[in-house]
């Protein structure tokens, strides 16, 4: 009889162990993805929303729960660093960094926690990754390098008399310096003359734009966080002095810029989310190639274009995304 009871006890113990193992395997483990967004901007908000959608789809398919936290640094490098350090101390499973200073802050904060970046002009130049194909660190993500040549070709086709372009930019931003190198090269090749005014904060953008009024046929806003965060001030001067402001991204067209040809930030957010999913599935960021835009979208602000008497060929409008 004792042997019988002992055998039953062994069977119960084994079954209990199997149940515990299976239960743990199928249980939901909360994952925390913490995001730093350097500035408030429609492009970054679009990317973050698309990123969340992709992660939530993966979580549902894999019986996981993902908790998201988003902090906006309000164009403050020191605050971005504080946010990144807090995320690392709280044992976040992953950090999403939107904007160059946000990604740099995250990289300084940790060499261990996976970092996925978005909206970075040149991640190699600023030292985020060793190469686009093989990042080589705990960091990977997506680049949104704008196609300046196509943007300037569009300007030339719409306003062929344009010669002088006024540009406000912040030379202390690595992404802005990278953009300006491309812009100078392309503008020179296409016969444009650039008038540049450097600023160090968004509060200087309005005055800087005013100083360009008498020199400029048009204004252009490059990939510059300082300028984009003060786009309303730039637009105010443009409208006041009837100088068209061309921009390089869809979000800025939506806010009132004339038009652009550039990456779709929702699509980039989806692709960035797919990279994050691969990391959550166990792959190393160091071996996941940086995602780059493969196509562009023509985006037009109809109201702004009409205000400045800019007309578009039907062939262009048929392929354009139009904001009324």
Is residue 111 within 8 Å of residue 138, measured between CB atoms? yes
Q: Residue 262 forms beta bridges with which residues?
A: 297
Number of Cβ within 10 Å of residue 67's Cβ equals 11
Distance CA 185, CA 180 (A): 8
Query: Which residues contact residue 4 at a Cβ distance below 8 angstroms, ignoring those fewer than 6 apart?
Result: none
Distance CA 316, CA 224 (A): 27
Is residue 130 within 8 Å of residue 137, measured between CB atoms? yes
Q: Which positions of the chain have pLDDT values less than 50? A: 1-28
SS3 (DSSP) at 43: helix
SS3 (DSSP) at 56: helix
Q: Residue 97 forms beta bridges with which residues?
A: 36, 117
Q: Which of 268, 269, 281 is nearest to 51 (CA)?
A: 269
> Residue 157: its pLDDT value, please?
94
Q: Which domains does the chain have, with CATH numbers?
A: 31-144+264-287 (3.40.50.2300), 148-262+297-322 (3.40.50.2300)
> Residue 213: its pLDDT value, please?
98
SS3 (DSSP) at 68: strand
> Residue 29: its pLDDT value, please?
66
> Residue 232: its pLDDT value, please?
97
Q: Which of 141, 139, 153, 146 is nearest to 109 (CA)?
A: 139
Model confidence pLDDT, tens digit, residues 277-298: 999 999 999 999 999 988 889 9
Residue listed under structure tokens 């040549």: 149
**30-37 β-sheet, strand order:** 65-72, 30-37, 94-98, 115-120, 139-143
Distance CA 198, CA 176 (A): 11
> Residue 301: its pLDDT value, please?
98
Helices (H), the chain: 2-26, 42-61, 77-89, 100-109, 148-158, 174-189, 205-211, 225-229, 231-240, 250-255, 265-280, 302-307, 314-317
Is residue 56 within 8 Å of residue 66, measured between CB atoms? yes
> Residue 324: its pLDDT value, please?
87
Q: Residue 165 forms beta bridges with which residues?
A: 194, 218
CA torsion angle 38 39 41 43 (round to 10) = -10
E-strand spans in 135-212?
Answer: 139-143, 164-169, 193-198
Distance CA 193, CA 183 (A): 11
């Amino acid at each position: 009889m004792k042997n019988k009871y002992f055998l039953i006890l062994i069977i119960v113990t084994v079954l209990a162990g199997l149940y515990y193992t299976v239960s743990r395997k199928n249980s939901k483990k909360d994952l925390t993805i913490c995001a730093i967004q350097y500035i408030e901007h429609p492009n970054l908000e679009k990317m973050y929303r698309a990123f969340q959608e992709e992660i939530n789809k993966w979580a549902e398919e894999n019986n996981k729960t993902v908790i998201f936290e988003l902090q906006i640094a309000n164009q403050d490098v020191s605050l971005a660093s504080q946010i990144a350090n807090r995320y690392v101390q709280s044992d976040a499973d992953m950090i999403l960094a939107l904007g160059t200073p946000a990604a740099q802050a995250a990289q300084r904060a940790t060499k261990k926690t996976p970092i996925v970046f978005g909206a970075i002009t040149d991640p190699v130049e600023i030292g985020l990754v060793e190469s686009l194909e093989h990042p080589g660190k705990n960091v990977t993500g997506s680049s949104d390098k704008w196609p300046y040549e196509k943007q300037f070709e569009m300007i030339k086709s719409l306003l062929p008399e344009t010669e002088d372009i006024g540009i406000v930019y912040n030379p202390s931003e690595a992404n802005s310096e990278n953009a300006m190198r491309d812009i100078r090269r392309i503008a020179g090749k296409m016969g444009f003359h650039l008038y540049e005014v450097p600023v160090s904060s968004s509060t200087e953008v309005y005055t800087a734009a005013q100083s360009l009024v008498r020199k400029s046929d048009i204004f252009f806003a490059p990939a510059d966080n300082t300028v984009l965060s003060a786009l309303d001030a730039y637009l105010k001067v443009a409208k006041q002095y009837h100088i068209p402001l061309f921009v390089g991204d869809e979000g800025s067209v939506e806010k009132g810029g004339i038009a652009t040809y550039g990456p779709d930030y929702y699509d980039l957010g989806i692709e960035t989310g797919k990279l994050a999913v691969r990391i959550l599935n166990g792959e190393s960021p160091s071996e996941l190639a940086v995602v780059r835009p493969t196509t562009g979208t023509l985006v037009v602000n109809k109201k702004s274009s009409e205000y400045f008497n800019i007309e578009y060929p039907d062939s262009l409008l048929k392929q354009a995304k139009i904001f009324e």
